[in-house]
C-alpha cells in the first residue's frame, strides 16, 4: 500500500493553498528538510541554504540571537517562510525535572502537564518552537535504554500522561509564543525493541500494535498533537519510515491526522541498511510514498525528491500533500503571520519550586521494614550519607539534558548539610568514584562511617550515561561494586536506607532485603536533594507508584503485569525454588508450570506498587449491578479510610479481567485510577464507572469488539493486591 497522493485542496487553509501555488519545486522540497544546526554559529553553507529556501526547519540551535538571525535569513526571499526550530526538550530545559519515567511515577496528569508547560516557556525564550516529545512508546523491557524516556508499561497510564504532556507543551493555542509544537514519538512499537536493544526489530502482531502501542498515539492526537515522529525500528519486517500501514492507513486514514510526520535522525537513508531499499533514492521514494513528510538530518529528500518528481516516480500531488502538512503546522504556530516574539524566561526560583514538587511526587517508597521512615529529627544525631550519587549535581538530572544546568542542582549532600548544626551531623563518603567503579578499596571506610551513625543513607544507582538512547544494558543490577558497598554497610547493623537514582527499574534480587527501607527516585532532576531530605524526615510523604514492574533478575525480562495467562500457570503450591529441589528429583516430580527455577514467577515489585507513611485502607467494594448492558454504566464504589495519625495520599487503581473470550486476554488490565489525599482519621467514598466500551479488545478480524461474559474486577493500591468483585456483560 502506498500513501495518499493528495490532501483535498478544499481541506487546506487559504494561506497554505496560496503559498503552495507560489512555490517552485526546490522551495517545496526545502520545506521537507530538517537540518542540524551549528549550535551557536551560522556557517556559510547554512546561511546560503536557509536564504535559498532549501531548509524548512533547524534542530539543535538554542542561542536566541543565532535563532533570530536564521529566521531573518529565511525571510529574505519573496516567498520566504519562517523556520521550525526543534530540540529534544524531554524533561525540562534549563530547569530539569524528573525523567519521564520518574514523572510517570507520580500518576499525575496535572504534574506532567505543568512540567511540560514550564519547559516550553524556557525553550521558547531561546527561539525554539518545536520539541521532539512526548515519547509514547509503551516500554516493558527495562534493558532498553529509552525506558528512561518512557511513561511506563501500561497503555492507559501512558495515554493519560502523554496527552497531558502534549497539552503542557502546546497549551490552548500554538500561536502563543510561550508554547511549543509537540511531536508524538516513535510511531510505532519501538518500546518492544527485541532484546531491549535500541534500533532493533519489533516483531509485533497487528493486534498487539492496536491494543498496546497505538492507544497512546490516539490519545495524543485527541489532545491536538501537531507532529508525529516515525520510529527507527522495523515493525514485523517493514521499517516504520517506509511503512504505509502505519503512516497512511492508520495515522491518516483511520485517525484523520492532519499534521506532518518527521523521520527520526537519518532514518530514511538507513532504509538501505535495513535491506528494503536499493539506494538512497529508492529510500527517499519509499518513505515519501508511504506517508513520511519531513526528513530529519539526512539528505535523501534533498538529493532525490526533485528527480523523482521529474521522472514521474513520485507524483507532484503527493509532494504537495507533504509540503501542505508542514505548512499547516507552521500556520498553527502563527509562523505564516511573521516571526514569533521571544518570551521572557521564568526566574530560576519558579522552576526550582516546580522541580522540587515534581521530585517529591515522583518518589516511590518500595520497602519500609519496621517503619524506619520517616526518620525522627530528635532521634538522628548523626547521619552517614554514602554512595557515588550522594553529591553528583549533573548525574541526578538524568539522560536527555542537553540544556540542563547542573548549577541549578541541589544534591542530597548539599541539602542535608543545610540542616547541620548542634545535635545533627552529616558524615559523607562516596565509597566509589562512579556507579561503575569496581575498586573496593574505600568500601570499608564508608562502612566505618555507617557504624558511627544513627542511620545510614546510601544513594546508589546509575550515572546518567547508563540510560537513554543507545544506552541499553543486558544486566540491570546495580553496576560496579555498589552491591558490595550495600552489603558492608548493612553488616554494621546501622539502620539503613537505600535510595535509588537510576534511569530504569533495577534488578535487586539478593540485596533488596539488606536495607530497612528503599526509596526509588529514578533520576529526579535539579531538586532531588531537598526532596530526598524532606522525604527522609517526613516533611513530605512519598506518594509515587511504580509505572513499570521491577524484576527480580535480568533474566526474567521482559516482564509486565498485564501478560496473557498460560495453560500451566505457576502459584505458590506449584513452585519449588531451585535450592530446595531434592537431589535426584525426577523430571516431572516438581510439576510443570510457567516459572524460572532460579527466579520464580513473580516480580520483585509489581506495577502500581508504592508505600506511604500514612495508614490508608480500602474497604467496602460495591457494584451497583451484577449485569452490565450496552449503553449502561457500571458504578463501582469503594471506601478509603485513613486509620493513622497523619495525612496521606493514595493512588487507587481499578483493574479488570475478561475471564472467557474468543482470544486469550490479559490477567489484569488497568482501566482507571484516582489519586486522593486524606486527612488523619478521615474516610472517603470513591466512585469509578465502566461501560461496554471499556471492555473491548481487538478481535480475530483486527477490529475492536466486546463479548458477553463474566469479568473479574479489582480495586487496589497496586496491580498485585486489591478488593475483588465479579460482574457480567450481557
Residues annotated catalytic, as ranges:
264
For residues 718 and 704, give the distance between their C-alpha atoms in angstroms, rounded to a whole number.
27
| Residues near 694 by beta carbon (within 8 Å), at least 6 away in sequence | 656, 671
C-alpha angle 211-212-214 in degrees, rounded to nearest 5? 80
For residues 543 and 650, give the distance between their C-alpha atoms in angstroms, rounded to a whole number.
7
Closest by CA to 652, choosing from 697, 616, 704, 703, is 616
| Residues near 14 by beta carbon (within 8 Å), at least 6 away in sequence | none
For residues 64 and 344, give the distance between their C-alpha atoms in angstroms, rounded to a whole number.
11
77 phi and psi, to 5 degrees?
-80, 150
Closest by CA to 192, choosing from 153, 156, 238, is 153
3-class state of residue 429 by DSSP: strand
List, in sequence order, every residue forming a beta bridge with 461; answer none if it has no partner. Answer: 501
The pairing of strands 669-678 and 648-658 is antiparallel
Nearest-10 crossing angle of helices 316-332, 14-22: 130
650 burial class (0-12, 13-18, 19+ CB within 10 angstroms)? buried
Query: Long-range CB contacts (< 8 A, 24+ apart) of 700-706?
Result: 700/662, 700/663, 702/206, 702/207, 702/210, 704/210
Q: Which three cell numbers stand for residue 362?
A: 515522583
For residues 532 and 534, give the distance between their C-alpha atoms in angstroms, rounded to a whole number.
5
For residues 316 and 322, give the distance between their C-alpha atoms in angstroms, rounded to a whole number.
10
Residue carrying C-alpha cell 492507513: 249
What is the DSSP annotation of 378-390? TT-SEEEEESTTT
What is the DSSP annotation of 242-286? G-HIIIIIIIIIIT---SEEE--TTTTTTHHHHTS-SSHHHHHHH
Please, what is the end-to-end C-alpha distance for the chain in angstroms? Answer: 39
List, in sequence order, every residue forming a beta bridge with 712; answer none if it has no partner. Answer: 657, 726
For residue 73, count other CB atoms closer than 10 A to its CB: 20
Is 288 within 8 Å of 279 (Cβ atoms)? no
C-alpha angle 212-215-216 in degrees, rounded to nearest 5? 105
User: In this structure, what DSSP letter does residue 360 have?
Assistant: H
User: In this structure, what DSSP letter does residue 213 have?
Assistant: I
List, in sequence order, every residue forming a beta bridge with 364; answer none if it has no partner. Answer: 520
Residues belonging to the chain: 730
C-alpha angle 106-354-391 in degrees, rounded to nearest 5? 85
List, in sequence order, every residue forming a beta bridge with 246; answer none if it has no partner. Answer: none
| Residues near 689 by beta carbon (within 8 Å), at least 6 away in sequence | 633, 634, 635, 636
For residues 461 and 688, give the distance between their C-alpha atoms in angstroms, rounded to a whole number.
38
For residues 456 and 481, give the distance between their C-alpha atoms in angstroms, rounded to a whole number.
18
Amino acid at each position: 500500500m502506498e500513501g495518499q497522493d493528495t490532501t483535498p485542496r478544499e481541506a487546506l487553509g487559504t494561506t497554505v493553498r496560496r503559498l503552495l501555488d507560489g512555490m517552485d519545486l526546490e522551495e517545496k522540497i526545502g520545506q521537507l528538510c530538517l537540518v542540524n544546526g551549528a549550535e551557536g554559529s551560522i556557517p556559510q553553507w547554512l546561511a546560503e541554504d536557509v536564504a535559498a529556501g532549501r531548509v524548512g526547519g533547524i534542530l539543535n540551535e538554542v542561542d536566541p540571537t543565532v535563532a533570530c538571525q536564521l529566521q531573518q535569513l529565511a525571510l529574505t526571499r519573496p516567498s520566504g517562510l519562517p523556520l521550525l526550530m526543534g530540540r529534544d526538550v524531554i524533561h525540562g530545559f534549563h530547569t530539569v525535572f524528573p525523567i519521564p519515567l520518574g514523572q510517570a511515577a507520580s500518576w499525575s496528569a496535572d504534574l506532567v502537564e505543568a512540567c511540560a508547560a514550564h519547559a516550553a516557556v524556557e525553550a521558547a525564550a531561546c527561539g525554539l518552537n518545536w520539541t521532539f516529545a512526548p515519547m509514547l512508546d509503551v516500554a516493558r523491557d527495562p534493558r532498553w535504554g529509552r525506558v528512561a524516556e518512557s511513561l511506563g508499561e501500561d497503555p492507559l497510564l501512558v495515554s493519560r500522561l502523554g496527552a497531558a504532556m502534549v497539552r503542557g507543551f502546546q497549551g490552548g493555542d500554538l500561536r502563543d509564543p510561550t508554547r511549543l509544537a509537540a511531536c508524538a514519538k516513535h510511531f510505532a512499537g519501538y518500546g518492544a525493541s527485541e532484546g531491549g536493544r535500541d534500533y532493533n526489530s519489533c516483531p509485533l502482531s497487528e493486534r498487539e500494535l492496536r491494543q498496546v502501542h497505538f492507544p497512546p498515539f490516539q490519545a495524543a492526537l485527541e489532545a491536538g498533537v501537531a507532529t508525529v515522529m516515525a520510529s527507527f525500528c522495523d515493525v514485523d519486517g517493514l521499517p516504520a519510515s517506509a511503512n504505509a500501514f502505519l503512516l497512511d492507513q492508520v495515522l491518516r486514514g483511520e485517525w484523520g491526522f492532519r499534521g506532518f510526520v518527521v523521520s527520526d535522525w537519518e532514518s530514511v537513508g538507513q532504509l538501505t541498511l535495513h535491506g528494503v531499499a536499493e539506494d538512497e533514492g529508492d529510500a527517499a521514494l519509499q518513505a515519501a510514498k508511504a506517508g513520511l513528510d519531513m526528513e530529519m538530518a539526512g539528505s535523501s529528500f534533498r538529493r532525490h525528491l526533485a528527480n523523482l518528481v521529474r521522472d514521474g516516480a513520485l507524483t507532484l500531488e503527493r509532494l504537495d500533500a507533504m509540503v501542505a502538512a508542514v505548512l499547516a503546522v507552521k500556520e498553527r504556530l502563527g509562523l505564516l503571520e511573521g516571526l514569533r516574539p521571544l518570551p521572557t524566561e521564568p526566574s530560576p526560583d519558579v522552576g526550582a519550586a516546580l522541580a522540587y514538587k515534581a521530585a517529591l511526587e515522583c518518589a516511590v517508597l518500595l520497602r519500609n521494614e519496621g517503619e524506619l521512615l520517616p526518620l525522627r529529627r530528635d532521634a538522628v544525631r548523626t547521619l552517614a550519607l554514602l554512595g557515588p550519587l550522594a553529591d553528583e549535581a549533573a548525574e541526578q538530572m538524568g539522560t536527555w539534558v542537553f540544556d540542563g544546568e547542573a548549577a541549578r542542582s541541589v544534591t542530597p549532600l548539599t541539602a542535608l548539610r543545610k540542616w547541620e548544626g548542634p545535635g545533627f551531623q552529616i558524615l559523607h563518603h562516596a565509597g566509589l568514584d562512579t556507579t561503575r567503579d569496581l575498586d573496593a578499596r574505600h568500601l570499608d571506610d564508608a562502612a566505618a562511617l555507617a557504624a558511627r551513625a544513627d542511620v545510614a543513607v546510601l544513594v546508589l544507582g546509575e550515572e546518567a550515561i547508563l540510560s537513554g538512547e543507545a544506552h541499553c544494558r543486558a544486566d540491570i543490577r546495580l553496576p560496579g561494586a555498589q552491591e558490595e558497598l550495600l552489603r558492608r554497610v548493612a553488616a554494621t547493623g546501622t539502620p539503613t536506607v537505600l535510595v535509588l537514582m537510576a534511569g530504569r527499574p533495577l534488578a535487586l534480587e539478593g540485596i533488596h532485603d539488606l536495607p530497612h527501607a528503599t526509596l526509588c527516585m529514578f533520576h529526579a532532576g535539579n531538586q532531588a536533594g531537598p526532596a530526598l531530605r524532606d522525604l527522609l524526615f517526613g516533611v513530605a510523604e512519598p506518594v509515587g507508584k511504580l509505572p513499570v514492574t521491577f524484576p527480580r533478575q535480568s533474566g526474567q525480562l521482559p516482564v509486565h503485569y498485564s501478560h496473557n495467562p498460560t495453560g500451566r500457570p505457576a502459584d505458590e503450591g506449584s513452585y519449588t525454588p531451585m535450592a530446595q529441589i531434592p537431589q535426584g528429583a525426577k523430571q516431572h516430580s516438581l510439576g510443570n508450570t510457567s516459572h524460572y527455577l532460579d527466579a520464580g514467577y513473580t516480580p520483585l515489585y509489581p506495577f502500581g506498587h508504592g508505600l506511604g507513611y500514612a495508614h490508608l485502607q480500602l474497604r467496602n467494594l460495591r457494584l451497583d449491578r451484577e449485569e452490565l448492558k450496552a449503553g449502561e454504566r457500571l458504578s463501582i464504589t469503594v471506601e478509603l479510610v485513613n486509620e493513622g495519625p497523619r495525612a496521606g495520599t493514595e493512588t487507587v487503581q481499578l483493574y479488570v479481567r475478561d475471564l472467557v473470550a474468543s482470544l486469550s486476554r490479559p490477567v489484569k488490565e488497568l482501566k482507571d485510577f484516582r489519586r486522593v489525599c486524606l486527612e488523619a482519621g478521615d474516610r472517603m467514598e470513591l466512585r469509578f464507572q465502566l461501560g461496554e466500551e471499556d471492555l473491548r479488545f481487538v478481535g480475530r478480524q483486527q477490529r475492536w469488539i466486546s463479548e458477553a461474559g463474566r469479568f473479574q474486577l479489582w480495586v487496589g493500591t497496586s496491580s498485585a493486591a486489591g478488593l475483588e468483585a465479579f460482574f457480567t456483560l450481557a
